[in-house]
Structure 1
Amino acid sequence: MQLEYFTLGVLTFLMTGATCEETEVFAEAGSQAVLPCTFSPLSRFIPSIIWTKANKGTVWRKGKSGLQFWGSSWSQKGTQRVRCPHSQFENGDFSLQINNVREEDGGVYSCRAEHGDRVSEKVVTLRIIEVSVSSSVPTWGSYASISCNVTPWPHRASVQWTLNNIPFVPQTGTASRRETSKRVVKEKATARLTGNWTCVVGYKGKEGRASAAVTVNGIIEPSNDNTKVYAAVGSAVTLPCVFSSSMIPSGSVWEKLKPGFLIKPAPGRLPASFSASSPSSPLPSDKSASLREVRFEDEGKYRCSGAISGQRLTRQMQLVVAKIGSSITSKGSVTLTCHLTDTSEVTHYEWVHVAYDLNGNRSVGSLQKGKTLSINKVSEENRGDLACRFYGKDGMLGNVTHHIPLMSALSGQKSPGGSHNTAVVVGLGFLLLVLLLILAQMYKNHQRRKRIFQYPAMETIVHSVSNEREERERNHEKK
């Protein structure tokens, strides 16, 4: 590189009346590079212009006749990668445009303008910057190497890395003060490395940048170990375990880890309602599991795993179960308490009343903040669902609902609707009692007649005696 600068400098110095300026240009590989070359017009005639590259000869030139020529390496199948816009010639702008720049395009270029016996020259150093990844899609757990390459490399240039437009900080122990180490980021592939990487190079007041996207193959959901999944008692829940779409794991296994084993957790018994497949997604890369009905004792850590190309990938997650405990005081007030098996991520609680009208429309009204809700005056208005919502720093984590069928029965109070229903019930009961008495009397009469009809001779004797008695009484009255 120093030899190239020296050669151009000597040639420029030997030219009569020659002037020379140097410029730095950065361009990302694959983009368009513009090498500036402007001169103040000395006459109405356009000078002859020649662009050359050190050790590569002519790139482009325009003679006094106006004809243009391209170097053999810059024209392929009739298509030229370099050009100078004619519209700017009269303004003294002879900047060179290079399309789809490559690594080999980096180097020192010279723009020389000849105005009769006066020669003006400008030197431009084109530096091609490119970000490369050791493996375009590294596998989770393997080491990934992300490099920033600049051709030619500027000595004592500053290098900074950003990931998704945020300055990247290497993990402890991976950073080095050597200049060469700043060009390369080498870390274990995790979800932390996924995103758009940008290398920013600063040199002599100029700045160049190049970017590359990095995707880590592995378990993409959940993206980190010990992710918490929240569920209410009695509800269904999905434990996510989704691999990259291009990966089909073999020998997938689900385990519930026993508590108390910090270094190497031992597998325990899975819940009774556990299903090792999720009905929501038939994709072969989705190995999520589900619990049909969560119990409070189902809380704890779960682990899913699958083999990819002989390497077993695992992910741990924690199921946090929520429930509402209730208690009734002697005065009829109700106290509801929101219980979670793990509250490490919970920042605050909120109680809301959920009600439905005759049309099925749902309405939600906030009651109060806090883990515990006390209802002193219980009425028909409190009937419905009371939900405890729990929040973290990034928003709501989950909720659990408590259903209240009829709060007025707990307090001994009677609403107008309840009094009306009671009167109807009493009236119906009285009517039923009268009907039963009538039926009983009818049955009694029927039985009595039935007993008499069993002895017809006796009935005849009784009837004759009765007639004779009546006849004697009439005769006695006539005397």
Structure 2
Amino acid sequence: MLLEYFIFGLITFLMTGAQCEVTEVFAEAGSQAVLPCKCNPSASSPPAILWTQVNKGTVWRKLKSGLQYWGSSWTQKGVQRVRCPHSQFERNDFSLQINSVTEEDGGVYSCLVQHKDNSVENVVILRVIRVSVSSAVPISGDDLSITCKVTPWPSGAKVQWKLNNSPFYITVDRDTDKSVVMQKATRRLSGNWTCIVSYKGKEGRASASLSVKGIMQPPKDNTKLYAAVGSAVTLPCVFAPGLNPFGSEWEKLKSGTISKTALGQLPPSFSLSSQSSRMPWDKSARVEEVGYKDEGSYRCSGTIRRQKVTRTMQLVVAKIDSSTPSKTKAAVTLTCQLTDASDVTDYEWVRVTYDINGTQSVGPIQKGKTISISRESDEKWGEWACRFYGKEGILGNITYHVPLMAGLTGQKSKGLSHNTTAVAGLSILLVVLLLILVQMFKNHQRRKRIFQYPALETIVHTISNEREERERNQVKN
């Protein structure tokens, strides 16, 4: 670098009337670079322009006659990569445009503008920035390096890294010609990496995309999944599309450890998802009926390119405990319990009701982990839901059905028994009285039918008496 400055200093000293300025320009590899060269107007006739790169000869030149020439190394597939727009010449702007910049284009350039009476020279240092990744398709767990290389490297420059527009802090060795990020490949490193180089008031940047292959869902280890007792839950284990892991398996870890030898027992209703309903890279599992003891850490794994990829997740189980305080047996207390409530920031309770069409509606929200419900009120019994929230929103919910009659105990139960006996006895008495009244009514109706024709009854009676008298007389004779 000192030699290059010495050469240009010598050229400047030998050129009578020449003015020399040094400009720093940063450009990302593959982009377009613009090397500035502006002069104050000093003559009406067209000047001669010469662009050269130190140690590599002529880049582009234009004679006063208007003829143009290009360096032989600046043609790519028959297309010139450099140009100097004539539309800017009237403004004394002779800037050089370089398309599809490469690392080899980095270096020191000279713009010499020759008028009839004097010459003006501008010196431009083009620094090309390129970000590269050690592996085109890294797998989770691989050694990963992301390199930011600047050609030529500016001694004393400040380097900053960003991942998805957020600062990524590393220790940078400023004595080398590049900045390197060394990490173990994980999903959190996927995204757009940007290297920002600051030097002498100028700033340049370059970017590269990184996609770490492996397990995409869950996105990170120790992801928490919430499920209610008795419900079904899916344990996700989805690899990147196109990957077909070998020897995939599920394990349950004992509490407080991630050791492979400290394994627990999978739930009784644990099963792998149906092969017909998932892609080869989907190794998810399902627990059909979650029990409170099914909580804990689970781990899925698979082998890709001889590299074992794993992901752990934590199943948090929720249940509702009910209790009846001794002093108020007509009330029930409901408590929302979670096996791990460390991420829970808020609880709320709502009463759920349904109309004749099955449409669901919820009542007023009540805050708190515990709620007390009166069983004597028809407005309180039924289905209650406990919702629990974290910093990013709702985590899950669980419902509980409070029956109207099930909790009536003690004096309330005795009172109910006495009332039932009294009602039964009164009912029997009413039935007996009703039967008596029916029989009396039947007898009355029969008498009424007989006495409707009294004269006929007298005639019948007289005839009967006469027949009896004749029969007696015959017997005497």
TM class by shorter chain equals 0.7 to 0.9
The partner residue of 1:229 within 225, 231, 234 is 225
Say which is worse superposed, 238-247 or 265-274, in terms of deviation: 265-274
Aligned CA-pair RMSD: 3.1
Instruction: Give 2:443's aligned residue.
Output: none
Quickly say closer, same or farther: Cα 1:278–1:158, change in 2 above 3 A.
farther
Quickly say closer, same or farther: Cα 1:191–1:9, change in 2 above 3 A.
same
Provide, for residues 368-420 of structure 1, a one-character-per-residue CA deviation record: whole Å limited to 9, x for no partner: 1111111237533345431111111222111111134x5377569xxxxxxxx
Is contact 1:18-1:119 (8 Å) kept? yes
The partner residue of 2:394 within 390, 393, 396 is 396
Quickly say closer, same or farther: Cα 1:25–1:281, change in 2 above 3 A.
farther
Q: Give the AA of the match of 2:146.
A: I
Quickly say closer, same or farther: Cα 1:159–1:377, change in 2 above 3 A.
same
Q: Give the AA of the match of 1:372.
A: T
Asked whether 1:407 is paired with 2:404, we answer: yes
Q: Secondary structure at the match of 1:229?
A: strand
Quickly say closer, same or farther: Cα 1:280–1:409, change in 2 above 3 A.
farther
Instruction: Give 2:469's aligned residue.
Output: 475
Q: Secondary structure at the match of 2:39?
A: coil
| In structure 1, C-alpha distance between the alignment counterparts of 2:7 and 2:105, rounded to whole Å | 19
Provide, for residues 442-465 of structure 1, a one-character-per-residue CA deviation record: whole Å limited to 9, x for no partner: xxxxxxxxxxxxxxxxxxxxxxxx
Instruction: Give 1:87's aligned residue.
Output: 87
Asked whether 1:354 is paired with 2:365, we answer: no
TM-score when normalising by structure 2: 0.82
Instruction: Give 1:110's aligned residue.
Output: 110
Instruction: Give 1:292's aligned residue.
Output: 288
Instruction: Give 1:451's aligned residue.
Output: none
Quickly say closer, same or farther: Cα 1:358–1:180, change in 2 above 3 A.
farther
Q: Secondary structure at the match of 1:138?
A: coil
| 1:165 Cα offset (Å) | 1.3
The partner residue of 1:276 within 262, 272, 275 is 272
Is contact 1:46-1:90 (8 Å) kept? no
Task: Among all aligned residue pairs of Structure 1 and Structure 2, give the percentage whose two residues are the same amino acid.
Answer: 63
Quickly say closer, same or farther: Cα 1:378–1:52, change in 2 above 3 A.
farther
Q: Secondary structure at the match of 1:345?
A: coil
| In structure 2, C-alpha distance between the alignment counterparts of 1:185 and 1:356, rounded to whole Å | 58
Q: Secondary structure at the match of 1:90?
A: helix
Instruction: Give 1:313's aligned residue.
Output: 309
Q: Spell out structure 1 runs of 4+ moving beyond 6 A.
A: 470-473, 476-479
- 1:425-464 to structure 2, matched below 5 A, reads none
Is contact 1:259-1:265 (8 Å) kept? no
Is contact 1:336-1:373 (8 Å) kept? yes
Structure 2 unaligned segments of length 5 or more: list them.
410-419, 440-463
Is contact 1:278-1:290 (8 Å) kept? no
Quickly say closer, same or farther: Cα 1:72–1:136, change in 2 above 3 A.
same
| In structure 2, C-alpha distance between the alignment counterparts of 1:181 and 1:219, rounded to whole Å | 35
| In structure 1, C-alpha distance between the alignment counterparts of 2:247 and 2:120, rounded to whole Å | 72
Asked whether 1:67 is paired with 2:67, we answer: yes
Asked whether 1:153 is paired with 2:150, we answer: no
Q: Give the AA of the match of 2:318.
A: A
Q: Secondary structure at the match of 1:6?
A: helix
Q: Give the AA of the match of 2:384.
A: L
Q: Give the AA of the match of 2:392.
A: D
Provide, for residues 326-364 of structure 1, a one-character-per-residue CA deviation record: whole Å limited to 9, x for no partner: 234554222111111111211221112222333333323
| In structure 2, C-alpha distance between the alignment counterparts of 1:280 and 1:342, rounded to whole Å | 34
Is contact 1:350-1:366 (8 Å) kept? no
| 1:285 Cα offset (Å) | 0.8
Instruction: Give 1:214's aligned residue.
Output: 210
Instruction: Give 1:448's aligned residue.
Output: none
Instruction: Give 2:457's aligned residue.
Output: none
| 1:235 Cα offset (Å) | 1.1
Asked whether 1:121 is paired with 2:121, we answer: yes
Structure 1 unaligned segments of length 5 or more: list them.
413-421, 442-469
Quickly say closer, same or farther: Cα 1:182–1:335, change in 2 above 3 A.
farther
| In structure 2, C-alpha distance between the alignment counterparts of 1:348 and 1:279, rounded to whole Å | 39
Instruction: Give 1:50's aligned residue.
Output: 50
Provide, for residues 200-249 of structure 1, a one-character-per-residue CA deviation record: whole Å limited to 9, x for no partner: 11111111111111111211222222221110111110001111223210
| In structure 2, C-alpha distance between the alignment counterparts of 1:344 and 1:278, rounded to whole Å | 33
- 1:243-392 to structure 2, matched below 5 A, reads 243-259=239-255, 261=257, 263-277=259-273, 282-329=278-325, 330-376=328-374, 378-392=376-390
| 1:280 Cα offset (Å) | 9.3
Q: Give the AA of the match of 2:337.
A: H
Instruction: Give 1:464's aligned residue.
Output: none
| 1:110 Cα offset (Å) | 0.7
Say which is worse superposed, 67-76 or 207-216, in terms of deviation: 67-76
| In structure 1, C-alpha distance between the alignment counterparts of 2:154 and 2:24, rounded to whole Å | 10
| 1:306 Cα offset (Å) | 0.9
| In structure 2, C-alpha distance between the alignment counterparts of 1:150 and 1:16, rounded to whole Å | 35
Is contact 1:249-1:308 (8 Å) kept? yes
Is contact 1:255-1:303 (8 Å) kept? yes
Quickly say closer, same or farther: Cα 1:260–1:56, change in 2 above 3 A.
closer
Say which is worse superposed, 278-287 or 310-319, in terms of deviation: 278-287
Instruction: Give 2:141's aligned residue.
Output: 141
Q: Secondary structure at the match of 1:297?
A: helix
Is contact 1:252-1:304 (8 Å) kept? yes
| In structure 1, C-alpha distance between the alignment counterparts of 2:219 and 2:256, rounded to whole Å | 24
Q: Secondary structure at the match of 2:176?
A: helix
Provide, for residues 152-190 of structure 1, a one-character-per-residue CA deviation record: whole Å limited to 9, x for no partner: 1111111111111111124xxxx4656339711111112
Q: Secondary structure at the match of 2:3?
A: helix
Quickly say closer, same or farther: Cα 1:96–1:291, change in 2 above 3 A.
same
| In structure 1, C-alpha distance between the alignment counterparts of 2:302 and 2:16, rounded to whole Å | 75
Instruction: Give 2:460's aligned residue.
Output: none
Q: Give the AA of the match of 2:208.
A: A
Quickly say closer, same or farther: Cα 1:364–1:81, change in 2 above 3 A.
farther
The partner residue of 2:186 within 190, 209, 232 is 190
